[in-house]
Amino acid sequence: MGIDIPSALVGQIVLFTVFGIIIFALVREAARVVIKALLVVGIVLAIAILAGWLDDSMVGRLLERIGDALIVGIKAVVGWVMRAWAAVSNSPQETP
């Protein structure tokens, strides 16, 4: 009495696990870089506002541009992950 697991299912589980580990590593590294960059930008903006070099509206526009750039970057990464998953998950037998 043993459990009979199809090899294709085991292969998909292994593939999904490896893909998840790669995505986790990429997200963790990206978060590390983004947090450092945001910390530096925040300090520079705080100094510029306190020194009177920038006003609040200019900082708001700058933060809006940074937010837009982050959204574009996140969409690009998600699109890449989706294309990579589609390329990896399609087996030659399923292709018409």
Q: What is the C-alpha to C-alpha distance for residues 9 and 7, in angstroms, rounded to an integer?
A: 5
List, in order, residues 6 or more apart from 89 with CB less than 8 Å away: 12, 15
Confidence at 72, pLDDT banded by 50, 70, 90: very high
pTM, 2 dp? 0.47
DSSP 93: T
Confidence at 94, pLDDT banded by 50, 70, 90: very low
